[in-house]
Amino acid sequence: MQILSVLKKFNATSKFHTVAVFAWKNMLEELENTAKLIKQNADLVESKSLDKLNSLYAEKRRARKQYQEEHNRIVAQFTHLTEDVARKKTEYQKYLELYKLMRSRFEEHYVKSGRGGRKLDDVRDKYQKACRKLHLTHNEYVLLLCEAAEYERNFRTVLLPGLLDHQQAVQEAFVLSWRSVLEEVAQYTSLCSEKFREVQSRVEASLEAIRPNQEYKDFTEKHKTTPASPVPFTFDNSLVEDTSGKLLPGQLTVDNLTIEWLRGKLMELESSVKEVQDKQASHCSHIEVANNKTSHVDLLTRVDPGKRELEELRCQEREMQRQVEVIKSALSELGCEEVPSGCDLSIDSSFNNKVYNIFQGGDRSSSTLTLKKQQQRFVEILRKPFRRLPAPSSPILPPRSEGEGREEEKDTSQTTDSEKLCTCCTQSQMSLTPQRSLVDEEWFHGVLPREEVVRLLRHEGDFLVRETTRNDECQTVLSVCWGGHKHFIVQTTAEGHFRFEGPAFPTIQELIIHQSQSGLPVTGRSGAVLRKPILRERWELNNDDVVLLDKIGRGNFGDVYKAHLKTSKKEVAVKTCRITLPDEHKKKFLQEGRILKQYDHPNIVKLIGICVQKQPIMIVMELVPGGSLLTFLRNRGGSLTQKQLLGMCRDAAAGMRYLESKNCIHRDLAARNCLVGYENIVKISDFGMSREEEEYIVSDGMKQIPIKWTAPEALNFGKYTSLCDVWSYGVLAWEVFALGGTPYNGLSNSKAREKIDSGYRMPAPEGTPDEMYHLMLRCWEYEPENRPHFDQIYVVVDTLYNAHR
């Protein structure tokens, strides 16, 4: 009768509903009536069924405990996340106050010190550190709010309801296990007599009436608690009210201060997502194995204790995926452009309201003087006569007639074959030509960096093929614009064929054409479909068409060569990029070509093309025979007349006026970065540091900055505008009339900077016209808004040039 005692104990903890209770009572009555008859089977029942019941009893108690622990854990995790949000907000407020304090000190020291000094540098460094810390905390706060909002929604709609559903499934499993034990007991008590058959029939009928899903059909409704009201996780807008618009509520800040952190965070999140996905796959395999088990001992496993864990993993994945989406969205808007500054270094808004004045002139924006009146006005200012010296012929070519204009000259040479698009592959249809190599396909862009690829792929379905090197291994990559920019590595089979997820082909061309014509996605997961091949731009030349001849110089990224262009049969200048440089440097190298290709001016060095079909990457430009202006002045300056020197200054002003109209900041204007062409024409070159924007702020230090040519506001605050180029132009003009002399000769960079801040300006080189030196001084005004713009500089120098005989 020990089995009856155990069954009663189990019933006390089970609390089954009506049908189960009735069946149980019926079982007890029938068992009591036949107790003596089944005595002979008692040992058998006790040795098997009793152990199962004890195990089931222990499992039921353990399941109840696990439910409570899991419920407490989920609630505690939500509470912890809520506390993290509050702590992060407090931290945000702390760094915001520090930021305000540092900015206040910086502005105070700037007003007191006036023009710089070591103390101002220290205060500015502290200010920039506080700014950086604020921006990082801002991003952490945004991502934490994103995570908290996603978890709160999962907490209400997935985790707690899922836990309750799981508990119901466990209880139903217990009922099913309980039924199995009863069936086993009934089997042992079944005898052949009619009486026992009748008892057995009644017992089995009671058992058949038990339905686990009916017993606990109201379980969820009965035990569920009232859903908590949604807890909003929103950004506190008051935190960014005093950040000058640099930080936006609920939006990630992508700038020089945070870009590396965001990229690292993105990699960390993507790695975590991968781990969670792997765990989900493992749980799915476990579920599949568990469902194949039939023993009643495994019934709880069949309920799938991993199902609830799987749901929790999916919630974690959604939380991290949401953060990944937010970061990717912010980074995708950045594209491949220069990272915008996040450092709020504006000192006084009144700076932007000061009136531009040159030679006691009026407001530049409202001036209505015609060009002729402006010239007459400047002629009145130029009081002293010019020295008149005989004009020798040009050391490069015989001089042209005075009637020929310099600024309006343009290269009218005919378009070369390399500048024409190949017609073998159209935008709407791709065909395969036998024996045609991959590099001959117009949609193959060689080793073009990913950042440049993103610029070319603009519409859904745009695609091209390129090469990249990873771990010293060259790989062919298909880049597609599809819900962003996706890059697929071409896989190589054991037979040497090429494929993605579909069939393999002997050549990459056949693979790409198959993907384009079939309309099938490259991979099932990406769904990317090839619609339009993006052909090489007319600027993209084939490396094999460039024959390098003599080395004529060396740049920051590689050597400079005189070369022969096969397609046009003319000599060119070629800048090469060292193969060993990291991709970031190659991107900066190609930036010069990207800027130059949209400019067409006689005083700007002309771009012929870029070579990215294979390494090394090259920029092909017109060959300017006179070489560097600095070298030219030092070697041949003694034979140049004053008018020729003025002409060089006028050429430089014309080129810079053109760049200013294009919102291009050169940032490295100097005689060494200008070239001398036929008839001494000067061309602006070396755009490696240039930026195409009205204002550019550097916040990562003054690396590779030409101190003696750079304006004070750029050195002190990292703030560049076209007026910084005006300062550099003044130094360039000084170099021209000093015939290649060294600015601030005998002074170190730091000493020159200190003297400039204290008001020192270089004296005029010997033989410099007074009016030209006066213009240099105007270019060296400490306050940028007091300097002339290049259009006015050009008018002054052009007037001087035309007035000189």
Known binding site for ATP: residues?
552-560, 575
Nearest Cα to Cα of residue 778 among 353, 355, 357: 357
First to last CA, the chain: 131
Pairing of strands 618-622, 570-576: antiparallel
**CA distances (Å), 484 to each of 208, 325, 488, 521, 527, in order?**
59, 12, 13, 15, 12
Q: What angle do CA 181, 187, 189 make, to 5 degrees?
A: 110
β-bridge partners, 621 = 573, 607
Pairing of strands 532-533, 462-470: parallel
Q: Catalytic: 125?
A: no
DSSP one-letter string for 754-797: HHHHTT--PPPPTT--HHHHHHHHHHT-SSGGGSPPHHHHHHHH
Nearest Cα to Cα of residue 3 among 438, 723, 34: 34
**Contacts for 5 with CB less than 8 Å, ≥ 6 apart:** none
DSSP one-letter string for 566-580: TTTTEEEEEEE--TT
| Torsion angles phi and psi, residue 783, rounded to 5 | -85, 120
554 is written with which tokens? 């060396």
In contact, 182 and 68? CB cutoff 8 Å: no
DSSP one-letter string for 269-329: HHHHHHHHHHHHHHHHHHHHHHHT---GGGHHHHT-HHHHHHHHHHHHHHHHHHHHHHHHH
Q: How far apart are CA 27 and CA 201, in angstroms?
A: 11
Q: How far apart are CA 602 and CA 409, in angstroms?
A: 6
Beta-carbon count within 10 A of 12 CB: 8
Q: How far apart are CA 27 and CA 22, in angstroms?
A: 8
b/e 757-778 (16+ beta carbons within 10 angstroms → b) = beeebbebbeebbebbbbbbeb
Catalytic residue of the set 304, 462, 651, 668 = 668
175 is written with which tokens? 């009922």
β-bridge partners, 486 = 480
In contact, 557 and 581? CB cutoff 8 Å: yes
In contact, 643 and 392? CB cutoff 8 Å: no
What residue type is assigned to position 339 of the chain?
Answer: V
Q: What is the dihedral of CA 259, 261, 263, 269, to 10 degrees?
A: -150
* Exposed / middle / buried, residue 629 (Cβ in 10 Å: 0-12, 13-18, 19+): buried
| Torsion angles phi and psi, residue 477, rounded to 5 | -125, 135
The residues carrying an active-site annotation are 668
